[in-house]
Structure 1
Amino acid sequence: MDTHYINIQWTFWPFFWIIFWVCIIPLFWVLIGRGNWKYGRHGSNRAADKSPMDILKERYAKGEINKQEFEEKKKDLA
C-alpha cells in the first residue's frame, strides 16, 4: 500500500464523522424535536386547547374584528 494514501485516509476520517453528525442531528430535530415542542404536547398555545369562544375573544382583543362582528359571531356560537 502507498503510505501517502493511508495518511490522507486518516487525515480526512474525522471530517466524515463531523459531516455525519451535522446531517443527523438536524434530521432528528426536524422529525422529533421541533414537532413536539412547537405544535405538540409541550406547547400551551395549541388551537385545539381553546374553545371557539376563546378564539373569538382573542381576535376581538387583538382588533382583528370589530364589536359588531364580535357580537354577530358570538350569537352564532351560542
Structure 2
Amino acid sequence: MVLMMLVFWGGVVTVVVLLLRRTPPREGPGPARPPHYDAELILHERFARGEIDETEYAARRSALRHLE
C-alpha cells in the first residue's frame, strides 16, 4: 500500500513537471518593434487629446516612418 502511494504521488509530480516544462515562457523576447513605434504611439495620443491637428499629425507620422 505504501508503495502504491509513492507511485501515485510520483506520477502526479511527474505530470506537473512535464506540464510546466511544456508551457512557453510568459516573458521573453517578443517580436521586435519598429524603432518609430513608441514615437508614433505618443504622436497618436497627442492627436487623440487634441494637442495637434490632422495636418501636423500626418506630417510628423510621415517623418517618423521615413527615419528607418
TM-score w.r.t. length of structure 2:
0.45
Higher percent of residues as helix? 1
Higher relative contact order (CA 8 A, sep 6+): 2
TM-score w.r.t. length of structure 1:
0.41
